[in-house]
Structure 1
């Protein structure tokens, strides 16, 4: 094995530009490594998103699995939540999704799933990495190779998801699938729930011609305008693989990530898991209805905490939510349906969002080469707090989170999937948020150079 071999897995599986880091050779080796770790036996459910490189990678990965003795359940082009669902419901020994989620079209990736539908833990990913770097794959003769079974469980997935929600009135919903993997399923499942549906970018296309896959406000102007112009109750947007969703309210406004998470936490109640970058409004909205526990950024960390705490619900402010009463895989389709169910029961989304406490919140990212991240974060941990007038404490659950005495805070952490340092902050006033932002960015730009 090479000395200090490169890390392959980030915060959300393997993910990088196709043909540079994510290659056919890496996909085949990942299949071989997974089969090796599984002992060269068992079944693996495999799906892929709409990217132009996805089928190439899927074929290579399946070849690696078969070569080392695993059988394959081939799901085809499906959203990530369906892979997690299939892995848990079909008794598979693992699941694999070929996707780069919200990243631009040139990117792709590989994400692995446990039999319960939970993403592979970091320790499991390190084991896969070790086998790949050592090349210590199982060898099988011609009579020990795996087999492939094609399977479509979309209808079963939709039936079970629909059993989880009950609309109390018909809603008009605009759904923007971003030409991603939910393009067929999400509009259909909403129609079956009783909603009137208008679709945007709901034709699978790996070039993502309608908009970039990341469902952020700057990419959703068409959805916002369509919600307003059609008098819709709700707009929904997915990322490339539909493990996430975001909402547009009835006034055509992008629903605050944190406020939407807070509303769902209050609706479900009980023990709620969220991340260190989530707003204080989640705690305040939940109130006496439950308890908020914070963990590291990344759906696998949220999932682990849900399992450890026996929690009722978990989610990241990005719109990646987990519903343990259904499956431990993030599910943007079920999340969207539960937002619609909430609106059907409690009134307009705009009025519900306006009830949630609001604090100025800024999210930003600073370019930083991957090889500089470790040094930059070491300096942030020792120096950044001293840049502020009234710091109250420093935490290192994930990155560096500095709290101020009035409750304001800033979180600085390295991206696990892109060459950036991410900054998230919350101030009690606009002026304070801007000041924290300016101090943090000025400091980071100075030390990154």
Structure 2
């Protein structure tokens, strides 16, 4: 059975369009509630968090209706980071956790992510079973067993206090000036509070959500805003989060940006030296730069690659006993601390590196020289399969042959948007651009 509703990170799309409607959310809540009531024994609890999108109210209410109709008791957390939902699902002994967010996408989009009772995102198999339940009649609870719903006021505070426990060098934070860009999203309260309570002088950016401005020229996909604030305020560091705070980009005092690959390289090297890098390897996706791979090899550290998506990174980490992984896009997964990517905790670990080494951020953000990488996207319409076109396959084969021995080519469908992503790496810029452009042109023609 193929998945029609779930992508690489839950269900996602434009709010009130296609499958992202209140009606679908109600049915999805009911299906998830029935799925977890089948096995749950903890009083059938579910915690629901959300980011700051206007449509979050609609989906929160619809999911609550569906869940309570199958006997689940719903605890509403309000706006909290995605990793907080993972943490609180396990901490509050819930059977299920749900985050309403489309992460780094624009405000018109939204999404629904599910966490199991262990705080980790659901497996492909579990999501397929929930999808299958949507195809039929969902058995509802009898009137006496309908669930209750209530708002939880201390969920954010629990997460804030837990995040602070992951940072052991509080006495060395005084006087450190940090810009934190919360993307007008889910961490707009939590991130500045954690940093201030740890002793930093905090310059907050992107902390005025209005339902429409999440990720709008702020956050980890628009790092120029944070970089400008760092330079303007003479800050020591910039921490730029995305809309649900499971991604981060780090900005040094000069305004230079470090992506997920550079952050993971720093952490992997430090953890290996400390003897706390379990499995002797880092887990990253096929998108991570060849420069990262070479850096790790030079320090005797392995690299395990997975499909794109932090959930696949986490699955490999759990299966192999690794404790560090992530994505170039800024998901940094540290399973000693969190069950999913946590941008704030990754920022704290970077601050810890500064505190323990006495080095400036600019001395830490560039761990290796990247191999030139070019990524271009081609949009296609629902129902199209441009990668199956014979001409596209021929051009891809030609590009792979041209790159052999000096680089690599990666073509994949996005799991969250109707896009074909064409990425290549090569030391020769002209060859790199020629290969990517040839594939992009062929896919564009095939997509009409």
TM-score by length of 2: 0.90
Deviations along 1:261-308, one digit per CA (max 9) or x if unpaired, are 322222233321110111122222223353210011011111110110
- 2:375 paired residue number: 363
Q: Secondary structure at the match of 1:371?
A: coil
- 2:21 paired residue number: 23
For residues 139 and 354 of structure 1, the distance between their equivalents in structure 2, rounded to whole angstroms, comes to 55
Q: Is the 8 A contact 2:30 2:66 kept in 1?
A: yes
- 2:276 paired residue number: none
Q: Is the 8 A contact 2:262 2:367 kept in 1?
A: no
Q: Is the 8 A contact 1:321 1:335 kept in 2?
A: yes
Q: Is the 8 A contact 2:414 2:420 kept in 1?
A: yes
Shift of residue 444 of structure 1? 2.4
- 2:445 paired residue number: 446
Q: Which of 281, 290, 308 pairs up with 1:271? A: 281
Deviations along 1:104-132, one digit per CA (max 9) or x if unpaired, are 11111111001121111111111111111
Q: Is the 8 A contact 1:295 1:302 kept in 2?
A: yes
List alignment gaps of at least 5 residues for structure 1.
Answer: 392-402
* Alignment of structure 1 residues 271-420 onto 2, 5 Å: 271-286=281-296, 287-346=298-357, 347-373=359-385, 375-377=386-388, 379=390, 382-388=393-399, 390=401, 404-406=404-406, 408-420=407-419
- 1:397 paired residue number: none
For residues 65 and 209 of structure 1, the distance between their equivalents in structure 2, rounded to whole angstroms, comes to 27
For residues 444 and 50 of structure 2, the distance between their equivalents in structure 1, rounded to whole angstroms, comes to 38
- 1:398 paired residue number: none
For residues 3 and 400 of structure 2, the distance between their equivalents in structure 1, rounded to whole angstroms, comes to 40
- 1:142 paired residue number: 143
For residues 90 and 422 of structure 1, the distance between their equivalents in structure 2, rounded to whole angstroms, comes to 39
Moved more, 300-309 or 327-336: 327-336
Per the alignment, do residues 58 and 295 of structure 1 end up closer, same or farther by CA in structure 2, a change over 3 Å counting?
A: same
For residues 323 and 390 of structure 2, the distance between their equivalents in structure 1, rounded to whole angstroms, comes to 37
- 2:431 paired residue number: 432
Per the alignment, do residues 389 and 143 of structure 1 end up closer, same or farther by CA in structure 2, a change over 3 Å counting?
A: closer
Q: Secondary structure at the match of 1:372?
A: coil
Deviations along 1:238-277, one digit per CA (max 9) or x if unpaired, are 1111111112121112224422232222223332111011
Per the alignment, do residues 56 and 250 of structure 1 end up closer, same or farther by CA in structure 2, a change over 3 Å counting?
A: same
Per the alignment, do residues 6 and 324 of structure 1 end up closer, same or farther by CA in structure 2, a change over 3 Å counting?
A: closer
For residues 313 and 391 of structure 2, the distance between their equivalents in structure 1, rounded to whole angstroms, comes to 25
TM-score by length of 1: 0.90
Per the alignment, do residues 12 and 138 of structure 1 end up closer, same or farther by CA in structure 2, a change over 3 Å counting?
A: same
Q: Is the 8 A contact 1:299 1:330 kept in 2?
A: yes
Q: Secondary structure at the match of 2:410?
A: strand
Q: Secondary structure at the match of 1:215?
A: coil
Q: Secondary structure at the match of 2:318?
A: helix
Per the alignment, do residues 380 and 416 of structure 1 end up closer, same or farther by CA in structure 2, a change over 3 Å counting?
A: farther
Q: Is the 8 A contact 2:3 2:128 kept in 1?
A: no
- 2:50 paired residue number: 48
Q: Is the 8 A contact 1:104 1:212 kept in 2?
A: no
For residues 147 and 203 of structure 1, the distance between their equivalents in structure 2, rounded to whole angstroms, comes to 32
RMSD of equivalent CA atoms: 2.2
Moved more, 23-32 or 142-151: 142-151
- 1:242 paired residue number: 245
Q: Secondary structure at the match of 1:433?
A: helix
